[in-house]
């Protein structure tokens, strides 16, 4: 998949593998419409369009346009991360934030969060397959802790 397809998958909440399964079979939604909307959202974000302009271009209500813009910004943080491990970390972070916003108060909510994190893991596997690199290559990135100074070059070496 190319970058715009990865962005579309993230923006519209599809796993990469699921999105890829819809390509090459004449599925207009996945092959043309979602990438087109994603390109509009990217341009809107870069050029700082008002939400009303985004809504007009997409033919939707402003509230829905605002939701799509927020989803796109998160998608870009995931897809454009410096490496697959950082992409995974961003995806997990957003999954946890969503779970907290929805109320992480019972076992059903916890199970839903676990499922979302597993989707992030599946997307990580997809990215690693695209790169042809093992997960162990990013072990240090996955173990990174906030507020720890690892020193220059620490993340450059393979584990």
pTM over 0.85: yes
State the pLDDT at residue 152.
78
Q: Which pLDDT value is given to residue 148?
A: 81
Asked if the model's pLDDT at residue 155 lies above 90, the reply is no
- Kindly report the three-state secondary structure assignment for every residue of 68-133: HHHHHHHHHHHHCCCCHHHHHHHHHHHHHHHHHHHCCCCHHHHHHHHHHHHHHHHHHHHHHHHHCC
Distance CA 30, CA 84 (A): 23
pLDDT-derived band at 154 (thresholds 50, 70, 90) equals confident
Is the pLDDT reported for residue 159 higher than 60? no
Average pLDDT over the chain, rounded to an integer:
95
pLDDT for the residue 103: 92
Question: Taking the alpha carbons of 140, 146, 148, 153 in that order, is the dihedral positive or negative?
Answer: positive
Per residue in 38-83, pLDDT (tens digit) is 999 999 999 999 999 999 999 999 999 999 999 999 999 999 999 9
Distance CA 148, CA 159 (A): 18
Contact 95, 60 (CB under 8 A): no
Higher pLDDT, 12 or 154: 12
Query: What is the 3-class SS of 6-38, one letter each residue?
Result: HHHHHHCCCCHHHHHHCCCCCCHHHHHHHHHHH
pLDDT band at 138 (very low <50, low <70, confident <90, very high): very high
What are the residue ranges spanned by the domains of the chain? 1-80, 83-146+154-159
Does an H or E element contain 102, and which?
Answer: helix 84-102
pLDDT at position 158, please? Answer: 61
């Amino acid at each position: 998949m190319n970058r715009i397809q990865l962005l579309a998958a993230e923006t519209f909440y599809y796993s990469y593998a699921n999105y890829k399964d819809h390509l090459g079979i004449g599925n207009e939604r996945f092959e043309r419409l979602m990438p087109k909307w994603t390109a509009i959202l990217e341009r809107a974000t870069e050029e700082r369009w008002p939400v009303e302009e985004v809504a007009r271009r997409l033919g939707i209500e402003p509230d829905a346009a605002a939701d799509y813009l927020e989803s796109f910004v998160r998608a870009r943080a995931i897809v454009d991360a410096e490496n697959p491990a950082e992409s995974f970390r961003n995806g997990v972070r957003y999954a946890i934030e969503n779970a907290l916003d929805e109320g992480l108060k019972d076992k059903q909510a916890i199970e839903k969060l676990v499922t979302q994190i597993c989707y992030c893991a599946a997307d990580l596997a997809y990215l690693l397959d695209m790169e042809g690199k093992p997960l162990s290559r990013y072990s240090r990135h996955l173990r990174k802790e906030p507020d720890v100074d690892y020193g220059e070059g620490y993340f450059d070496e393979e584990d």
